[in-house]
Amino acid sequence: MSRHPPRLTPSPQARLIARGLRRMVKPRKFSRRDIPLIRALMHAFTRARLPAGVKAERVKAPVRGEWLRPSQPRRGRALLYLHGGGYISGAPRTHRAITARLAKRLGIAVFALDYRLAPEHPFPAALDDALATWRWLLAQGYRADRIWLAGDSAGGGLALALMLAARQQALPLPAACALFSPWTDLACTGAAITENAGRCAWFMPAQVGFAAGLYAGATATDHPLVSPLYGDLAGLPPLLVHASDSELLRDDAVRLADRAAAAGVRVALHLWHGLPHAWPNFAGLMPEGDACLDETVAALLALPAK
């Protein structure tokens, strides 16, 4: 495993965005009746315009989501993106700062899945939607070894769960997977959950536990397809993992990287210093967001071509 040390002092833009999150999101005590507010806050904080040269194409059936296509995409290659939002919020439109930039910089079509959300649709609804989309992409003629997979936060955990479930069903796995602040342990056992309670810009521990319970529903939070940290990671494709040393989910990423490496998976862990959780969502506003995406693009393109 390659492990990269934390980056230096956050940029002024990163500090400003973190300050806004601490004032608007972190102090709130969420309950089920606050779900519409949570979703509205996600849309307000992560909305982004499409960059020049990228178009969005809505898909409603047989799966829901949107294609982000550069003007001249490379044929035969694609990236499947699974958005974050604690499994209770978020949508393809809220994560265009990531998906559209990946499409443009990789020069390929990116499909952002609009999976069903909890509490209306608890586990395994999101995973079922991800599996259906994986089968749909394969049926479209894309070879698995020419598809990259990526996700942030809950979407990062869902990406891992997708690969574990695909392997169980004897489906081929993607060429590689990039994860931004992945939520891999819904049992919330990482030390950073308490250690970083004061440093994390987005959340308090109770908010993370609240979302975990809504998504897991009647399933144990340490079930491997809910919390892929507890799954058998052997045989997964190369993983690129980004996390901030100050976020509550730091150890979800660090322990994932350690366990994946122990299982023989090729994994690179990049820890950044003092940044908000899933900061690539602020690409275009925060230089670290663009830098993280640039590193991800370079790492994916450096993999052996299929």
Q: Which residues are catalytic?
A: 153, 247, 277
Is 150:177 a contact under the CB 8 Å cutoff? Answer: yes
Is 102:296 a contact under the CB 8 Å cutoff? Answer: yes
Is 3:242 a contact under the CB 8 Å cutoff? Answer: no
| Angle (deg, nearest 10), helices 154-168 and 125-139 | 60
SS3 113: strand
The C-alpha atoms of residue 12 and residue 18 are separated, in whole angstroms, by 10
CA 79 to chain centre: 13
Task: Provide CB contacts within 8 A for 135, sequence distance 6+.
Answer: 171
As a whole number of Å, the CA-based R_g of the chain is 17
Total length of the chain: 306
Structure tokens at 152: 């942030």
176-180 and 239-244 beta bridge pairing: parallel
Buried b (16+ CB within 10 A) or exposed e, 116-148: ebbeebbbbbbbebbbebbebbeeeebebebbb
DSSP bridge pairs for 56: 68
Residue 54, H or E segment: strand 54-59
DSSP bridge pairs for 81: 112, 150
DSSP 267: E
